[in-house]
Amino acid sequence: MLRLLAFSFLSTAFCFTACADPAPAAPTTTVAPAAAPTTPETKPAAPAEPAKPATAETPAAAAPTQPTPPAAPAPVKVSYNRCNVDGPYIAITFDDGPHGANTPRLLEMLRQRGIKATFFLVGECVAEYPEIVKQIVKEGHEVGNHSWNHPNLLKLSAEKVEDQIDRTHNVITQEAGAPPTIFRPPYGNFTEKQRQWAHDKWGYTTIIWDVDSLDWKHRNPAKTESIILSTTHAGSIILCHDIHKTTIDAMPSVLDKLLAKGFKFVTVSELIKMNHEVPPTPKAPKKTLTAKPEAKSEDVAKAKSTDKSKVAPQKKTTTSSKKTAKG
């Protein structure tokens, strides 16, 4: 009896020590698990699938050999500049708000047209205008994290970057009623490593853009319109800023003309759900270098190239997010 007690005491003690170790790490990740399952891609679940057929399919005999055949699951895509979709779907995004006057005005324009948009919110503005955030969500739009006060994240320490994202994640979760699943770094500046980290920690997909209205720069409604109309294609993610009155001034016409062209507006997460990878075209591998600045090289490279003239050079792959974009 005494032995039993002693043994049970020791096991309990061991368990406590063993379980105590991971604990310190847990608090940092507590947010992420909550967000991860909401990721639309559900790719984390993929590894589990191969196991099911094995058990369901045949009796015990075949089971042991079955699990090997499935190829390694495709890596989760943690970042998008645009999507490949089978219809005229696009996502229009508005950054840096909410703004006390301009955002409600924009919401009314969107409501009148039945358009769903995506808002990348700055944490300190969320704290200032929580009611507008609630209205955005209530009216069916998507909200994403755009840092706390819009710094260049490439210039901050890892701790400060985490703080920028985490504070904003928390305030959006609080005001919007659910954690955001998408993140847009200010200026599009976020390394590949950081994108993977943000995905692992908060379940974020990093969203850049392929159509840059440059609205923050020229503050000209006519230019906003001409850039957007000339560079938007199916699958495009359009960058605008709802903190500028001139951007909102441009919107009725921009939205109406995009609708007239047959485009259908969806939120970024909806667009991502429709995305399918395009099989590599074997014929023109050299051209893909220029036509495929896609997710990878974009960010940092663009952040450095400070050319204004590059706004709309290529009509198909509008890599206008270049450096200039305010994001």
**Interface ranges with Ni ion (CB under 5 A):** 95-96, 186, 327
Q: Measure the CA–CA gap between 129 and 122, rounded to whole angstroms.
A: 11
> Which residue's CB is nearer to Ni ion, number 147 or number 236?
147
> Which residue's CB is nearer to Ni ion, number 41 or number 142?
142
- Shortest Å distance, C-beta 205 to Ni ion: 17
3-state secondary structure of 281: coil
> Which residue's CB is nearer to Ni ion, number 120 or number 265?
120
3-state secondary structure of 237: strand
- Shortest Å distance, C-beta 325 to Ni ion: 8
Residue 235: φ, ψ to 5°: 90, 0
Catalytic residue check, 146 = no
> Which residue's CB is nearer to Ni ion, number 121 or number 271?
121
Sign (positive or negative) of CA dihedral 248, 268, 210, 128 = positive
Which residue is catalytic, options 99, 199, 241, 244? 241
- Shortest Å distance, C-beta 239 to Ni ion: 9
Q: Measure the CA–CA gap between 255 and 209, rounded to whole angstroms.
A: 18
Tokens representing residue 242 in the block: 């709802």
Q: Measure the CA–CA gap between 148 and 171, rounded to whole angstroms.
A: 9
- Residue 47: what residue type? P
Residue 179: φ, ψ to 5°: -70, 140
Alpha-carbon dihedral angle through residues 299, 204, 167, 95, given to the nearest 10 degrees: 50
- Shortest Å distance, C-beta 186 to Ni ion: 5
Q: At what angle do helices 158-176 and 130-138 cross, to 10 degrees?
A: 60
Catalytic residue check, 241 = yes
> Which residue's CB is nearer to Ni ion, number 96 or number 212?
96
- Burial class for 81, CB neighbours closer than 10 Å (0-12, 13-18, 19+): buried
> Which residue's CB is nearer to Ni ion, number 36 or number 214?
214
- Shortest Å distance, C-beta 17 to Ni ion: 47
- Burial class for 19, CB neighbours closer than 10 Å (0-12, 13-18, 19+): exposed
- Shortest Å distance, C-beta 185 to Ni ion: 9
> Which residue's CB is nearer to Ni ion, number 89 or number 267?
267
- Burial class for 157, CB neighbours closer than 10 Å (0-12, 13-18, 19+): exposed
- Shortest Å distance, C-beta 188 to Ni ion: 9
Residue owning tokens 């039993």: 4
Q: Measure the CA–CA gap between 161 and 302, rounded to whole angstroms.
A: 20
Residue 249's Cβ-side half-sphere holds a number of Cα atoms within 13 Å equal to 11
Residues recognised as catalytic: 95, 241
